Amino acid sequence: MKYVKEEDLSYFMQQSDADLDMIIAGMSSIFSDTDDKVQAMANQGWFKRIWKTVSGSNRATKEAIQQNNEKLSMYAAEALSELYKRNCIDERMLMSLGQRLNDVYLSQTKLKGMLGQFVVSLNNKIESVNNFHLLITEIDEGLYSRESALISIIEILSQLDNRVIQHTREMNALTTAMEHCSILTDKECSIFQLLDDITNLPAETIGRYYIELSNLSLNSMLAKTFTNAIEQYTMLSRLDKKLKKKDAVFKDIISDNQIDENIKVSSAEIWEDLLASKSCLLDNQDELLVDNELDIAPSKNEDITEELAENNQTDSFVKQEEDYLANCKSTDTVDAPMPGKILSVDVKVGEVVQAGDILMILEAMKMQNEIMVPWDGIVGKIYVQNGSIVNTGDPLVKLGR
């Protein structure tokens, strides 16, 4: 790795899932408006580590951040790529992150060489998943009615790609289901209440919602306001949160975005606004997402891309699938018996397992189903991770015997 130290990655990977999601979200924000957004995160431990590696300094001033803008972006691109290779990125975040990086790839020429292979891989992953029917089922079962309407809308939007948004029948079915479960109503809510909902998000969801809202903020004033609330309050250190008056922060954000502080909006209006923003974003990326044939021709960063590929092959923590399965007489996959969500993966690549051992837990229809090892063997490849959405017949694990 050229920009990221191995000890930095080890530090990131040792964080809790919620903290790692926030770190990933923070890295994704480095690619744009660096001096403003990054300064808001300058007191957080993960950014201090990045800054020390990039600049050699312990203090991040606005001027220094501007001077190191390109290095910070290169670091973030390389770190996100490595975390993805090591299966450290929550699968529920991949679609929003992929859409974010597609936008970065299209707009920032200097990062194309580093992001090319990574973005291709993310796009392939997104294309391989279609969880529309599971999403409808979960809405009908009331799983999205437990949160505020705003939070439910953001969660649902984070699972949509252009295939669904451009499909009129599917979008009509989705809207109808949301109306039936009272997610979309004409009941109005103040802008202050909406900002309070955003800043009171559970820790395990803040990171991925922040990336989704950042994507939407390009074409939505509401999304930009919500994103500002996370940046200017949620991302503060614990001490700074205690020192700040939340209402005062909200008033400043509302004023900066020139929004009438007395305005009230309904969940139906929020859905219409954010959906239009997402549709516009994906339309701009449509050629990239459909073709998946990114221009990753040689550039001045090609040596960085080659180095990333070489590291991925030679790092000691990565052992190739064929090494584990070389002495096996045959291999086969264990497939998902039903659609659902992976709650836990209980085996590792290279692990010797026996028939009846638990491979993973699959949640379907609110029930936890144990996926068992069908025969004695060795785990050669794991296709899913915690949070993965699978359909019937999707491969879960490759086993040798």
The mean pLDDT of 331-348, rounded to a whole number, is 85
Instruction: Report the alpha-carbon distance of residue 143 to residue 183 in Å, rounded.
Output: 11
Residues 272 and 338 in one domain: no
Instruction: Report the alpha-carbon distance of residue 107 to residue 70 in Å, rounded.
Output: 14
φ and ψ at residue 141, rounded to 5 degrees: -80, 0
pLDDT of residue 325: 55
* pLDDT tens sequence across 283-293: 877 655 444 44
Instruction: Report the alpha-carbon distance of residue 310 to residue 332 in Å, rounded.
Output: 28
Residues 72 and 157 in one domain: yes
Residues 176 and 269 in one domain: yes
Whole-structure pTM value: 0.69
Closest CA to 386 of 357, 345, 351: 345
pLDDT of residue 272: 95
Domain count, the chain: 2
Closest CA to 238 of 89, 19, 60, 54: 19
313 in a structural domain: no
pLDDT tier, 37 (very low <50, low <70, confident <90, very high otherwise): low
pLDDT tier, 198 (very low <50, low <70, confident <90, very high otherwise): very high
pLDDT of residue 294: 47
* pLDDT at residue 174 tops 60: yes
Residues 218 and 72 in one domain: yes
Residues 275 and 392 in one domain: no
Q: Write down the residue that tokens 């529920």 correspond to.
A: 92
Residues 199 and 292 in one domain: yes
Q: Give the end of a domain, one of 239, 273, 306.
A: 306
Residue 367 sits in a domain whose CATH number is: 2.40.50.100
Residues 251 and 146 in one domain: yes
pLDDT of residue 265: 96
φ and ψ at residue 341, rounded to 5 degrees: -120, 135
* pLDDT tens sequence across 74-119: 999 999 999 998 888 988 888 899 888 888 888 787 787 778 788 8
pLDDT of residue 112: 78
* pLDDT at residue 319 tops 60: no
Please give the sequence-ordered ranges of beta strands (E in DSSP) within 18-59, or none if there are none: none
pLDDT tier, 48 (very low <50, low <70, confident <90, very high otherwise): confident
Instruction: Report the alpha-carbon distance of residue 133 to residue 126 in Å, rounded.
Output: 16
Residues 182 and 261 in one domain: yes
Helix 69-85 to helix 302-314 angle (10° resolution) is 30
* pLDDT at residue 188 tops 60: yes
* pLDDT tens sequence across 244-276: 899 999 999 999 999 999 999 999 999 999 999
Q: Which domain holds residue 385?
A: 321-400
Residues 202 and 140 in one domain: yes
Report the b/e string of 126-143 with b at 16+ CB within 10 A: beebebbebbbbbbeeee
pLDDT of residue 253: 94
1 in a structural domain: no
Residues 68 and 149 in one domain: yes
| Residue 92 near residue 206 (C-beta atoms within 8 A) | no
